[in-house]
Amino acid sequence: MLDVRFFALRCDMDSTKGNIGIVSYGLYTPAEFETAEELAARSGLAVEEVQALGIERKCRPGPEDQPIPMAVKAAQQALERAGGLNPEAVDLVLWTGEEYKDYVAQTAAIRLQEEVGCRRAWAFDLVGQGVTTLLGLRLARDMMRSDPALQTVLLAGGTRNVDLVDVRNPDTRWLLPLSASGGALILRRGAFRHALEEIVMVVDPEMADEVYVPGGGTEIPFRPDNLGSALMFFNTPHPELVQAYLAGRWIEALTETAAKALAGGGADYLALRHLAPAQRRAVLSRLGIRPEASAALDRWGCHGINDVLISLDLGLKSGALREGSRVLMVAAGHGFTYAAAVIRW
């Protein structure tokens, strides 16, 4: 399990009432890992091909590591590290995890609210694929700005999209790094450190129907004859189009979104979503960021919504991210959708 670090924020409601900052965060990752060698054996790929996808190893979820319970563990840690913040002090709970969760058509935020004890809060789910954590930051910030009654917001989510990947499907090989985890953030009004500076979103709507799980929706409901079939895993109807997109527009869109958030300024640390090594080098080069100022996730896998939190945590542990650093967080997911946030740590 990743260590959870907390950086207390003193609040002066008279002088900083307009500021909204991160009070604490929590992370939960399964204890077990799958190595590149093990994944190669399952997928039929060479070990070198797996490593080229950015996988030295990745978190392997156990039966108890379901999306909502993982998010609950991360949220409980965040509350504890926030000086033992009373869950009933939380005004709003946002589910910032994946759409694929414990049960179909379940409102995860309400179950999360119940499990954590945020009984006073309003709760609802967000869906943004790999950018939902940053989408949650944007929405929470804007809601807090417009509603003085919102003082404390909990964002939490889990991901287990690894279950939706057919490891032997060559058309979705780029999804092999998918893993499992829970993550949480607590925002408070009046925080003058670790404040949010900017959050931007970019989407490419023409790619909306290029990556999805065909089975289980209203178009193709689950039936005895399709259970266990390819319909239960990620598919792409036009694999050549997706491969061309990933080879070109993918890096361009990541750097475009990051540049919009930076607005001409620089970054001291980049919390970047999981990428293959070659893609990662390209993004760092285009943004002018030194490799040591951004932690690679090759030993954790791709956690989508939680990638930026894992990178943030690794940066704090290594000392690459320090007090006063300007942090750029960059996320992306299929859809295709992109998000970037700037935080003055």
- Residue 125 located in a structural domain: yes
- Residue 10 located in a structural domain: no
Same domain, 188 and 206: no
The mean per-residue pLDDT over the stretch 263-267 comes to 91
- Residue 110 located in a structural domain: yes
User: pLDDT at position 14, please?
Assistant: 32
User: pLDDT at position 18, please?
Assistant: 63
**Per-residue confidence band for 12, with pLDDT thresholds at 50, 70 and 90:** very low
User: pLDDT at position 192, please?
Assistant: 66
Task: Report the percentage of the chain scoring pLDDT > 90.
Answer: 90
Same domain, 96 and 78: yes
More confident residue, 10 or 97: 97
Q: Which tens digit of pLDDT belongs to each residue from 45-102?
A: 999 999 999 999 999 999 999 999 999 999 999 999 999 999 999 999 999 999 999 9
Q: Which tens digit of pLDDT belongs to each residue from 296-307?
A: 999 999 999 999
Question: Domains in the chain: how many in total?
Answer: 2
Same domain, 98 and 212: no
Residue ending a domain, choose from 163, 192, 221 = 192
User: Which residues constitute the domain of residue 206?
Assistant: 197-344
The mean per-residue pLDDT over the stretch 167-186 comes to 97
CATH number of 125's domain: 3.40.47.10
The mean per-residue pLDDT over the stretch 215-235 comes to 94
User: pLDDT at position 193, please?
Assistant: 72
Residue type, position 326, single letter:
R
Same domain, 182 and 324: no
CA dist 259 → 203, 262, 286, 330, 335 (Å): 15, 5, 10, 10, 20
Same domain, 157 and 297: no
- Residue 84 located in a structural domain: yes
Same domain, 184 and 52: yes
Same domain, 301 and 181: no
Overall residue count recorded for the chain in this entry? 345
User: pLDDT at position 190, please?
Assistant: 82
Residue ending a domain, choose from 192, 221, 245 = 192
The mean per-residue pLDDT over the stretch 7-25 comes to 56
**Residue 226 DSSP symbol:** T
Give the closest residue to 250 by CA, choosing from 208, 209, 282: 282
Same domain, 37 and 160: yes
What is the largest distance, in Å, between two alpha-carbon atoms of the chain?
63
The pTM (predicted TM-score) of the whole model is 0.92
Give the closest residue to 195 by CA, choosing from 150, 250, 229, 144: 144
DSSP bridge pairs for 94: 124, 155
User: pLDDT at position 9, please?
Assistant: 30
Residue ending a domain, choose from 139, 168, 192 = 192
Calpha distance 38→42 (Å, rounded): 6
Q: Which tens digit of pLDDT belongs to each residue from 102-127?
A: 999 999 999 999 999 999 999 999 99
